[in-house]
């Protein structure tokens, strides 16, 4: 029985018109996931070139045929093995920084965009695009502005020439906390000259203990100061570092010092003190 590589190479070397990975999978009777890898590997090794697009898929044209023996691919080693010439051709992999730069430049051009629109311009793996967009959203560079079907639309809200590199502290931030619980507390704190935890809990649909912990770490990180200790309601606080509209996010690691990440300044402050 013929292997996938034998079937795929037989199709590729005989094809007279541009074809997609789906054409290869359907006609050569190989899996679509293999067909996508095969055309990508052979393109990078110089056997194929991109001829255009058909719908959402790229079309390819064969430009190099070395013989009837199969040209194989090794996904683990990232090499193309030509049994006709005996060559093993290593593939040049893009650095993460180059990929992120390419995505960022596309975002700067589009301003409002979806994952698919970036893919259509860059042909970067969609999971890679989604991963970087999640980071940009956490870091405050983009925001969601709506959905249409399965597509999420984003808008660029913080622009700079160079691409924003990944930051581990930002990657670990939970967007849910930023957008919901912490944001509600932070919004209220910014409107009240002085307050106690009890004052906040009376006005917010947030558990008082969550408010207490958040306020404690905001104080330790330098956002709040204690005005005085009240007789019945604990400490009276005031805001002394109003960094912006986005809520600073509390991150408590299993080991080490708790931290507050501030998306307004793109900085992390340790929560230290008593």
Of 31, 63, 90, the domain-final residue:
90
pLDDT in tens, the chain (274 residues): 789 999 999 999 999 999 999 999 999 999 999 999 999 999 989 999 999 888 878 899 999 999 999 999 998 888 999 999 999 999 876 677 889 999 999 999 999 999 999 988 887 888 899 999 988 988 888 988 877 777 889 999 888 888 888 877 666 655 554 457 888 899 999 999 999 999 998 888 888 888 999 999 999 999 999 999 887 778 999 999 999 998 998 887 777 788 998 988 888 999 886 6
H-state helical runs in 111-163: 115-122, 126-138
Residue 265 sits in the same domain as residue 210: yes
Whether the Cβ atoms of residue 187 and residue 208 lie closer than 8 Å to each other: no
Residue 191 sits in the same domain as residue 177: yes
Residue 85 sits in the same domain as residue 102: no
Name the residue range of residue 209's domain: 171-270
Name 152's bridge partners.
147
Residue 226 sits in the same domain as residue 210: yes
- CATH number for the domain that contains residue 24: 1.10.10.10
pLDDT value, residue 178: 46
Residue 24 sits in the same domain as residue 41: yes
HEC string of 186-252? HHHHCCCCCECHHHHHHHCCCCHHHHHHHHHHHHHCCCEEEEEECCCCCEEEEECCCCCCCCCEEEC
Q: Give the C-alpha separation, 47 to 66, whole Å.
A: 9
pLDDT value, residue 124: 84
Residue 145 sits in the same domain as residue 193: no
Of 166, 187, 217, the domain-final residue:
166
CA quadruple 112, 117, 121, 122: dihedral sign: positive
**Domain count within the chain:** 3
Angle at 126 between CA 123 and CA 132, to 5 degrees: 105
Of 166, 185, 202, the domain-final residue:
166
Residue 263 sits in the same domain as residue 224: yes
Indicate the pTM of the whole model: 0.45
Q: Give the C-alpha separation, 235 to 31, whole Å.
A: 65
Residue 68 sits in the same domain as residue 103: no
pLDDT value, residue 109: 93
pLDDT value, residue 195: 93
């Amino acid at each position: 029985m013929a292997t996938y590589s034998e079937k795929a190479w037989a199709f590729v070397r005989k094809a007279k018109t541009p074809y997609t990975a789906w054409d290869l999978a359907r006609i050569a009777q190989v899996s679509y996931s293999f067909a996508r890898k095969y055309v990508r590997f052979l393109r990078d090794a110089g056997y194929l070139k991109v001829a255009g697009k058909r719908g959402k898929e790229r079309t390819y044209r064969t430009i190099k045929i070395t013989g009837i023996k199969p040209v194989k691919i090794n996904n683990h080693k990232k090499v193309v093995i030509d049994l006709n010439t005996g060559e093993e051709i290593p593939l040049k992999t893009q650095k993460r920084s180059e990929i992120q730069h390419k995505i960022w430049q596309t975002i700067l051009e589009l301003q409002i965009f979806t994952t698919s629109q970036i893919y259509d311009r860059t042909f970067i793996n969609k999971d890679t695009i989604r991963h970087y967009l999640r980071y940009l959203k956490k870091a405050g560079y983009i925001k969601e502005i709506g959905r249409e079907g399965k597509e999420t639309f984003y808008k660029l809200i913080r622009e700079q020439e160079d691409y924003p590199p990944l930051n581990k502290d930002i990657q670990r931030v939970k967007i849910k906390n930023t957008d919901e619980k912490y944001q509600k507390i932070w919004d209220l704190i910014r409107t009240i000259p002085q307050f106690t935890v009890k004052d906040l809990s009376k006005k917010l649909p947030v558990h008082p203990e969550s408010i207490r912990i958040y306020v404690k770490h905001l104080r330790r990180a330098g956002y709040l100061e204690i005005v005085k200790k009240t007789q019945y309601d604990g400490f009276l606080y005031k805001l002394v570092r109003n960094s912006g509209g986005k809520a600073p996010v509390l991150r408590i690691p299993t080991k080490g010092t708790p931290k507050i990440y501030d998306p307004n300044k793109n900085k992390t402050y340790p929560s230290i003190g008593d």
